[in-house]
Amino acid sequence: MSTDHYAVGLRVLDIEHGFRAIAPEPIVEGELANTLLLGKALNLGLHLRGLNVIQGNEIKGLKYAAAGLGIKSAELTTILRELQEIEWVRLKETGTKIDRVEIVVPTLHDVFDVIGRRWQDIGPTEIEQAAVAALSEAVVHPFNSRVLRKELGMDPQLARQVLDIGDAGTFLKEHRLADGQQIVYSPVFGDANPEKAYEIVEKYGDATIKQLIETVRATQGIPEENVSNKGLVREAIVSGLILAPGVKDKRFVFTPHRGLEQKESVILDKARAIASCVRYGEHFAEITKIAHPKAIIDALLTKKTLKPHSEHLEQYGLLVKKGIGRVEQVGSRWQFSIHDTEDNMKALKVARDLLDTGDAVHQQMDDAARALILNPSATYSTPVTERVKMSRNVKIKDVDAQTAKAISAVIRGAYDG
């Protein structure tokens, strides 16, 4: 088992994310319990990083944000106590009620290192160790399935269990090449290695895949339904070539993002959430569509608040769910303010880059834009969540031969490269 605790922490988050939107099978709940617990603690810690104190009415907002991360109300206290155990928070309590959370989450690199060490110290099960080891290999490079037994030391039953668990969480996939080789790859590969993913597509992708990637790169967050060749889009999402978070019942397509490190995955997720929600308002708003998508981001970056509005306190909306800001009462109205942390400001800047289509930098943000970003109905699901949903719906017989061949060529290229 690798002793690179930072890398282990990264993989713990990947595995937990794969099961965030589904009810795990009993074997996952039983054998991966520590990985799922620490993954949730890590994710919550990353969303809290940079804040100082949560207390009073803000505790309700913490519960709301945690729910958006897949942490049930009954789990939150356990997760917070785990964060206290690793000294990322200090809890002030009255009986069993948490009144105040003081936040001292460390640097991004240390965050993943601490979780990796904690995972090792708790004592991972054999399946947990095997799952992390297999994913660690696949994120670097697709490999022949024999590696599980010959190099990672798994017996056939353990190898099969790991592959089945990985398939359920969509962080490991099996693929048979034209020459009969059975290889294992990870849909996480593209986001973990965006530069390498671009090179592989350029070298091994056929014209249809290259056209798909160029279309998405030209308009990051383009609605899935606006991209031609639906079968190819679906398979590219499932295989991890492109990412497609969802807002309400729509998906918005992105390529792997260059310029961020793996440890900044939560920053990238926040950025995609913001960009997707704005794209929803641009294309699907029922009353007034957003004419200038970047206006929202510009206003939040420069002013860090939105003007008070009469929407109810409960209508926290997307930015509160993602831990990016808060809503406070101002007289009879409610005002949204950014949590002015390094991570949140970087997420806004990345979101603006994703939306950048050459519009003027300073545009007036109208009420339709503001309402959309704060609208509680603008539910967001991450690219991994959408990939899990799509994987469960895709049947082999539904994939046409040309699409299967095109995807296989890229996977083969990553394996050979």
**Number of domains observed in the structure of the chain:** 2
What is the model's pLDDT at position 80? 98
| Alpha helices in 254-341, H assignment, sequence order | 265-284, 294-303, 318-321
| Whether 126 and 202 share a structural domain | no
Q: Is residue 281 part of a domain?
A: yes
| Whether 220 and 303 share a structural domain | yes
Return the half-sphere exposure (C-beta side, CA atoms, 13 A cut-off) of residue 119.
38
Q: Tens of pLDDT along the chain (417 residues)?
A: 447 999 999 999 999 999 987 877 888 889 999 999 999 999 999 999 999 999 988 898 888 889 888 999 899 999 999 999 999 999 999 988 999 999 999 999 999 999 999 999 999 999 999 999 999 999 999 999 999 999 999 999 999 999 999 999 999 999 999 899 999 999 999 999 999 999 999 999 999 999 999 999 999 999 999 998 889 999 999 999 999 999 888 999 999 998 899 999 999 999 998 888 888 878 886 655 666 667 778 888 998 887 776 543 443 467 777 888 887 778 887 777 888 999 999 999 999 999 874 332 333 334 444 444 445 455 788 999 999 988 877 654 466 788 889 999 999 999 987
| Whether 220 and 319 share a structural domain | yes
Q: Is residue 112 part of a domain?
A: yes
What is the model's pLDDT at position 298? 86
- Opening angle at CA 120, ends 118 and 124, nearest 5: 115
Nearest CA to 39 out of 128, 160, 163 is that of 128
From 114, 133, 152, give the residue that closes a domain: 133
Tell me how far CA of residue 295 lies from CA of 298, 307, 310, 315, 406, in angstroms.
Answer: 5, 14, 21, 21, 38
Return the half-sphere exposure (C-beta side, CA atoms, 13 A cut-off) of residue 317.
24
| Whether 377 and 260 share a structural domain | yes
* pTM assigned to the model: 0.88
| Whether 207 and 105 share a structural domain | no
CB under 8 Å to 23, separation ≥6 — which residues?
Answer: none
- Sign of the CA dihedral with 323 first, then 328, 334, and 335 last: negative
Token readout for 374 is 């704060």
From 115, 133, 151, give the residue that closes a domain: 133
What is the model's pLDDT at position 270? 92
What is the model's pLDDT at position 400? 78
Q: Is 141 exposed, middle or buried (0-12, 13-18, 19+ CB in 10 A)?
A: middle
| Whether 300 and 412 share a structural domain | yes
Distance between CA atoms of residues 326 and 107, nearest Å: 23
Q: Is residue 148 part of a domain?
A: no
| Whether 334 and 200 share a structural domain | yes
- Sign of the CA dihedral with 283 first, then 285, 286, and 292 last: negative
What is the model's pLDDT at position 251? 95
φ/ψ of residue 54, rounded to 5: -120, 125
For helices 73-85 and 58-68, the axis angle rounded to 10 degrees is: 100
Q: Is residue 404 part of a domain?
A: yes
| Whether 270 and 360 share a structural domain | yes
Q: Which residues pair with 54 in a beta bridge?
A: 101
Tokens 């895949």, residue located: 209
Q: Decide if 6 contacts 119 (C-beta within 8 A).
A: no
| Whether 285 and 408 share a structural domain | yes
| Whether 233 and 327 share a structural domain | yes
Domain region containing 200: 193-417
From 117, 133, 149, give the residue that closes a domain: 133
| Whether 253 and 365 share a structural domain | yes
Q: Is residue 159 part of a domain?
A: no
| Whether 235 and 378 share a structural domain | yes
Q: Is residue 158 part of a domain?
A: no
- Sign of the CA dihedral with 351 first, then 354, 357, and 361 last: positive
Q: Is residue 171 part of a domain?
A: no
Q: Is residue 152 part of a domain?
A: no
Distance between CA atoms of residues 114 and 100, nearest Å: 23
What is the model's pLDDT at position 289? 62
Strands 97-103 and 222-223: unpaired
CATH number, domain containing residue 95? 1.10.10
What is the model's pLDDT at position 22? 80
What is the model's pLDDT at position 248? 83
The three-state secondary structure class of 228 is: coil
Token readout for 194 is 């965006």
What is the model's pLDDT at position 362? 33
Token readout for 33 is 């319990």
What is the model's pLDDT at position 23? 78
For helices 401-416 and 207-218, the axis angle rounded to 10 degrees is: 80
